[in-house]
Amino acid sequence: MIGSSLLGRQPILNRGEELMGYELLFRSPGAATAEVTDASHATANVIVNTLTGFGMDDILGTHKGFINLESELLMHDSLNLLPKDRVVIELLETLQVTPELIDRCKFLKENGFTLALDDHQYSPECHELYQIVDIVKVDLVQTPLESLASMVGKFQRYPLQLLAEKVETRQQFEHCLQLGFHLFQGYYFAKPALLVKKRLNESGTVLLKLMRLIGDDAQQSEIEAVFRSDPGLTYKLLLLVNSVGTGLRSKIENVRHALALLGRHQIKRWIQLALFASDDRRGMENPLVDLAAVRAGFMENLTDMRSLRDLKEKAFLTGIVSVLEKVYDLPIEEIITKLNLSDEIAAALSGREGRLGELLHLAELLEAMDFSHICRHLDKMEVSLNDVLMSQEKAFAWRKELA
């Protein structure tokens, strides 16, 4: 097991706002931020946790992982443990540009590693380094928007991509998009409350109706009728059957057959997550799908750790809807009414009250990596840190299966 260290991840998106990777972040209990006295120790924990704790595939899925490296680890042979095609090595801004550093970066690049400069501002002294690295991360807090154009112009003569980090507003994102940035990272994408809200369209309304029918244990014929009335939804249903039905021998004959092959449990899971990808070309690469899936899966898994199996289904649904309320331009009370949610779920969503409310609050603290409050919350809930880590690990693994 992972012990007392925790691995966090922040999504990195491309110009289409699709997931392309995660920065892997180290946290230790009691630390509210990533400040550590020994950067090499922190990075070593990230590497070990990724390879032996969570597992590279589970935490990254099909995406790449960005890992910060100090000089000590950068020069160490342990880097050979990392799969070269799955990681991006970030050189911290504290590194001094020396002949030894240049030689090491050339060696790593020639051996298949992808290299990035972290929290970087243009400097003529780094000319040789710019010809080696693949990505330069520009911190928008350190670099005002008005000075970005000049900096971007200087970087354009090098064969590298620019990543804007600490993107916190739509204005910042669009400005960097216009300047030609290739990749983006920040709370604007990671926190659902900061995303641009959208109206619940016709397809979303149909999905809400399906959620309510399944929640009310409606007859299969009622569920089938909803799919039959929406050709687009039927098409997505057939795609889903084929994606999860590996080795399926019989051809799908009709909607009823497709629903029977999937089973009600699978259908319910898909409908809940489809609300985030409804009419969205990004589909499962939508960062909101990622957030919703991990949060809901984490809450569901934690009910097993706490012997709260009676809350298992409710915990998953609470996690999904808690993200949903931030996406659509609907008050939580209206969503609660539309879905005919139980009083226990409603109390958790509207006031973080009750057992489900405690689970939801813990999930939100974990996403924010707010360990100064997490430890106190764990004591109150009588939940161990290992229970939290195991639940998170399973949630990452399930999210990977969805992709």
> At 249, is the pLDDT very low, low, confident or very high (cuts 50, 70, 90)?
low
Which of helix, strand or coil describes residue 110? helix
CB 8 within 8 A of CB 32: no
pLDDT tens digits for 34-64?
444 455 555 666 665 665 556 677 778 788 9
DSSP one-letter string for 159-222 = S-EEEEES--SHHHHHHHHHHT--EEESHHHH-GGGSPPB---HHHHHHHHHHHHHHTT--HHH
Structure confidence at residue 234 as a pLDDT band (50, 70, 90): low
d(CA 56, CA 62): 10
Distances (CA, A) of 250 to 87, 234, 254, 265: 40, 18, 12, 21
Please give the structure tokens belonging to residue 201.
């369209």
- Residue 139 burial by Cβ neighbours in a 10 Å radius (0-12, 13-18, 19+): middle
CB-hemisphere CA count at 13 Å for 52? 9
Give residue 239's pLDDT: 62
Predicted confidence at residue 193, as pLDDT, reads: 34
Stretch 170-177: mean pLDDT, rounded?
91
Residue 247 confidence (pLDDT): 47
Cα distances (Å, whole numbers) of residue 365 to 14, 247, 311, 370: 26, 40, 20, 5
Is the sign of the CA dihedral 30, 316, 358, 339 positive or negative?
positive
- Residue 4 binned pLDDT confidence (cut-offs 50, 70, 90): very low
DSSP-derived 3-state class of residue 367: helix
What single-letter amino acid sits at 236? Answer: K
Distance, CA of 148 to CA of 275 (rounded, Å): 36
- By residue count, the chain amounts to 403
Using an 8 Å Cβ cutoff, are 35 and 6 in contact?
Answer: no
The per-residue pLDDT for 285 is 66
For residue 388, the 8-state DSSP code is H
Least confident of 8-12, 102-106, 108-112, 195-199: 195-199
Q: Average pLDDT of 293-315?
A: 83
For residues 359-376, one letter each, b for 16 or more C-beta atoms within 10 angstroms of the residue's C-beta and e for the rest, the string is: bbbbbbbbbebbbeebee
3 state DSSP class of 60: helix
233 against 194, higher pLDDT: 233
Query: What is the radius of gyration, based on Cα positions, of the chain?
Result: 23
By the 8 A CB rule, do 345 and 320 touch?
no
Going by the DSSP 8-state scheme, the letter that residue 328 receives in this structure is B
Mean pLDDT of the chain: 78
| pLDDT number for residue 32 | 41
Model confidence at 246, in pLDDT bands (50, 70, 90)?
very low
Q: Phi then psi for 157, rounded to 5 degrees? A: -85, 0
Whether the CB-CB separation of 243 and 249 falls below 8 Å is answered with no
pLDDT for the residue numbered 39 = 57
pLDDT of amino acid 149: 92
Separation of alpha carbons 313 and 127, rounded Å: 56
**Residue 278 in tokens:** 């409804």
Segment 324-371, tens digit of pLDDT: 766 666 688 887 877 677 889 899 999 999 999 999 999 988 887 776
Q: Find which of 60-64, 161-165, 226-230 is predicted with most confidence, using mean pLDDT.
A: 161-165
Task: Calculate what percentage of the chain has a pLDDT beyond 90.
Answer: 26
Provide the residue type at 340 as one letter: N
Q: Which fold has domain 6-190?
A: TIM Barrel (3.20.20)
Mean pLDDT lowest for which of 188-192, 250-254, 378-382?
A: 250-254
Identify the weakest region by mean pLDDT among 20-34, 191-205, 278-292: 191-205
Looking at residues 140-157, what average pLDDT do you find? 90
Mean predicted confidence (pLDDT) in 296-315: 83
Local confidence band at 130 (pLDDT 50, 70, 90 cut-offs): very high
Q: Are 370 and 289 spatial neighbours (Cβ–Cβ below 8 Å)?
A: no
Overall pTM surpassing 0.75 (yes/no): no
User: 284 with 277: CB under 8 angstroms?
Assistant: yes
Which backbone phi and psi does 198 adopt, to 5 degrees? -135, 150
Please state the domain extents for the chain: 6-190, 202-277, 283-402
**CA proximity to 23, closest of 240, 183, 205:** 183
Surface-to-core class of residue 231, CB atoms within 10 Å of its CB (0-12 exposed, 13-18 middle, 19+ buried):
exposed
Q: What is the mean pLDDT of residues 194-204?
A: 48
